[in-house]
Chains A and B, each alone.
Chain A
Amino acid sequence: MRRVLIPVLVPTLALVLALAALTGLAFATNPGSTVTKARLERALPAVFAHVYVQEQRLAGRTGLTVADLDPVAMCDRGGPSVADTGPGSDWVCLMSWQDPEVPMPTEGYGKFELTVRSNDCFTASSPSKLVGYATMTDASGKTVTNPAYEFDGCFDPDTSNTPTGHTFPSLLSLTSTTAQVDASGHPQVQLGCGTGSDGCAGTLTATVATADGSTGRSLGSVPFDLAEEQVKTVTLPGRLRAGDSQVVVTLSTTTGVGSSSPATLAVQGATG
């Protein structure tokens, strides 16, 4: 048994050790990941422009070119506390482009989710409201795969890593669908701040909704300041009384973007 095992085990172990030593050496001279924010910000728009034009061609639009589209992207990995480097499935890129027939939403960009692999290739999924769904109807009425809905791309690890300087504001949104009443009768609502350059700040104002639509009793206003990719519960200074069934919430932003039109939320929990 020993005669058979030793000649096999020794070389195998030696190779495993060599591989481990190689790993150690590689870490000692660690050049950093080739997957970086700047490289993705250059690679994603390049790929997207091609697949988007391809999608529009399928739909029968021939006038649009890759150069016309001029997409610009800002990428971020895993929120403010994670370094924007390295492979992972938590990359988010915000991208805007020029298509006269599909204007950008108020925040000015669409949100793309990326899975980036260590081999410098990525898979991106597009925002459906701007790009459409997995399948589409082509010019001849057939159902075909939408080439821009989800797409793969690779980038050169030796290309420039200088920052692109592209930034987009975070999108602020009301994430709660109801106004929760706390123990002392104050209404609480939840705010969410999306991926973006500086987070979200501003003031939240609330009133009690009235049946005739006139401005109701004020519940006061609260300033808020959220980091990107953060959710926060805001408590209003005013108290709700028995019979208050809805509150109207208005957001005004000084950092980030969000809808400034009032939102009506049903009151959830005991009042009075």
Chain B
Amino acid sequence: MSAAVRFELRKLAAQWRVRALLLAALLGPIPVALVMSAQANPPKDTLFGRFALDNGFALALMLLGFLGQWVLPLLTSVVAGDSFASEDQHGTWKTVLTRSTSRNRLFWAKVLVNLGLTTLVLVVLAASTIASALLVEGAPALTGLTGQLIAPGHALWLVAAAWLSVLPPLLGFTCLALLMSVWTRSSAAAIAVPVVLALAMQMLGSVGTLEPVRPFLLTTAFESWHGLLTDPRFTGPLLEGFVVSAAWAAVCLAGASFILHRRDITGG
């Protein structure tokens, strides 16, 4: 198993898109923070947008709310969507399976490597966004979602926790992209479909009359950090988000595993 994981890691590290992704996560937030701080009017329609022009914590949280809509799903599906489909494109299934490893091992190696990469991308993106937002706009006390003032030292922890809280739904999207990658055998489709679905879920969740469906959507968990910024704090939606994300991930991985095992690779 560890040999398969190491092999997948080497394949990933050699890809230009993985390097580009990490570089984008590291450097992308800097121009965004600079452009935001130069705006004349604050984007009040997004949560924390009201304070986003002169408070680094608020800017980092506003960007988190904004990125959750489709950028985060795109970041993970860019690599995960390519993972299985690239073996189809290069016609390498027979090579990897007959020579080096079992189908099951290869599947879990790819899953593990992709989940790990997504986690790394999120951590880099979070650290870079928070750091650039604070450097550009400073770190005054933050007005929370109960109107309470949060001291800068405490606000930093809360903002970091809010960013990390989107990891479960993000990994859910990774699994969705992996499923599409196995199923469609097309990188383009496996990258695009999760992003389109994220947008669709976002829309479904924001329509007032469709409120009952909200708890089951992956994108709802992208917003469950709100409870961390209120006083008293609430974590019900966070836990719900974990469960829903885990369920999506389990269903997607089970589906992907089933399809991969049923495939006739010798013929393709």
Inter-subunit contact B211/A118 (CB<8 Å): yes
Q: Determine whether the beta carbon of B184 is less than 8 Å from that of A154.
A: no
Question: A31 and B212: CB pair below 8 A?
Answer: yes
| B226/A154 in contact, CB under 8 A | yes
User: Are A154 and B149 closer than 8 Å at their CB atoms?
Assistant: no
- Give complex CA distance A89, B201 in Å: 21
B234 contacts chain A at the CB level, 8 A cutoff: yes
Nearest B residue to A4 via CB reads B186
> With A and B bound together, what is the CA distance between A193 and B76 in angstroms?
54
> Considering only CB atoms and an 8 Å cut-off, how many residues of chain B contact the other chain?
43
Q: Which of A158-199 contact B (CB under 8 A)?
A: 158-159
Contact between A22 and B216 (Cβ–Cβ < 8 Å)? yes
Q: Which residue of A lies closest to B234 (CB)?
A: A156
By the criterion CB–CB under 8 Å, are B197 and A158 in contact? no
Q: Is the interface of B mostly helix, strand, loop or mixed?
A: helix
Chain A: minimal CB distance from B259 (Å): 9
The interface on chain A, measured as residues whose beta carbon lies within 8 A of the other chain's beta carbons, has a size of: 46
Whether B43 sits at the interface, judged by CB under 8 Å, is: no
Q: Would A48 and B147 count as touching, CB distance under 8 A? A: yes
Instruction: Say whether B184 contacts A8, CB under 8 Å.
Output: yes
Q: Does B20 contact A (CB under 8 A)?
A: no
A117 close to B206 (CB less than 8 A): yes
Contact B216 A26 (CB under 8 A): yes
Given contacts A19-B197, A117-B206, A156-B236, whether A87 and B211 have CB atoms under 8 Å apart is yes
User: Which residues of the other chain, B, contact A35 by a CB distance below 8 angstroms?
Assistant: 211
- B176 (CB) vs chain A CBs: closest residue: A15
Residue of B nearest to A123 (CB): B44
Other than A25-B216, A31-B212, give 13 A-B pairs with Cβ distance below 8 A: A19-B201, A26-B213, A26-B214, A49-B147, A51-B143, A87-B211, A119-B205, A119-B226, A150-B50, A151-B50, A152-B48, A153-B147, A154-B47
Selected A-B contacts with CB under 8 Å, 5 pairs: A8-B184, A11-B184, A22-B216, A30-B212, A118-B206
